Structure 1
């Protein structure tokens, strides 16, 4: 067992990796206990709603990171916002070797349970990118934004399936072109 997390906030990244490694259904309480180094009682103390509350906290944390590093800069018209988005996405997803939890949850049996968080994440990404593409004068900005986000998600799946970060790099390069970069 690893060294135990000492705060609720400290458990969230550990829980996120457990959900990435095992999926929602596969992340049993034993797996979550092992990942955080905490016993069941401590986890329930931090997350009284159990595994569902843990997953919600993780999804909120990912959403917060994307809002700060991706969505807000795109919406604010920050210079290089679209280029920066691609760099941040590549880094966050470890060149395609780290799964997107919202994407993973969207295709799993847990989709309906977390539908609001999943829709919010993808909706914000598409809306923010659409705004940035419109600002840069590109036509059909929303269609481009949808294609770019879909390419990122599909690139993650293929890169993981083939265990090839090069595939994700290739997909991001195509998405950059679609975004006018």
Structure 2
């Protein structure tokens, strides 16, 4: 069951997040997709949950691969934008840390504003334009 869930999540991210970066080179679209997927911080990240429990041991390759692919796509995006490899890697890592931290804090504090603030900061600092208000 867990493998099916991980496969489904990876497929969604492949289509909506990784391809936004690989094909369109569109960081704003990636941020939009992340916000939609995590329901602006109201939805838990099952891959993150699996990574923190004993489930990780059984699915370490799939869990690690999910984060590795996301980081690789981000890094390649920034290299394409003209960043040096080391800077691109740091920006990619910072984005993942900020997203994951925003999600974790929002869930722990039951307050979506932490995720919203994290995403707004990423859009300001990484060039992913501000999302129009709903």
How does the TM-score come out when normalised to structure 2? 0.88
Partner of 1:64: 11
Task: Give 1:99 shift.
Answer: 1.1
Partner of 1:118: 63
Task: Give 1:56 shift.
Answer: 0.2
Tell me the secondary structure at the aligned position of residue 112 of structure 1. helix
The residue correspondences of 1:151-166 to structure 2 (distance < 5 A) are 151-166=98-113
Partner of 1:137: 82
**Number of paired residues?**
126
Matched, 1:175 2:122: yes
Residues 94-126 of structure 1, C-alpha deviations (whole Å, 9 max, x = no match): 111111111111111211111011011000000
Distance 2:65 2:38 in 1: 19
Partner of 2:37: 92
Partner of 1:3: none
Unaligned 5+ runs, structure 1: 1-53
Distance 1:71 1:129 in 2: 8
Q: Over aligned residues, Cα RMSD in angstroms?
A: 1.3
How does the TM-score come out when normalised to structure 1? 0.66
Task: Give 1:151 shift.
Answer: 0.9
Matched, 1:103 2:43: no
Tell me the secondary structure at the aligned position of residue 111 of structure 1. helix
The residue correspondences of 1:70-85 to structure 2 (distance < 5 A) are 70-76=17-23, 78=24, 81-85=26-30
Partner of 2:131: none
Distance 2:2 2:67 in 1: 17
Which stretch shows the higher mean deviation, 56-65 or 96-105?
A: 96-105
Tell me the secondary structure at the aligned position of residue 58 of structure 2. coil
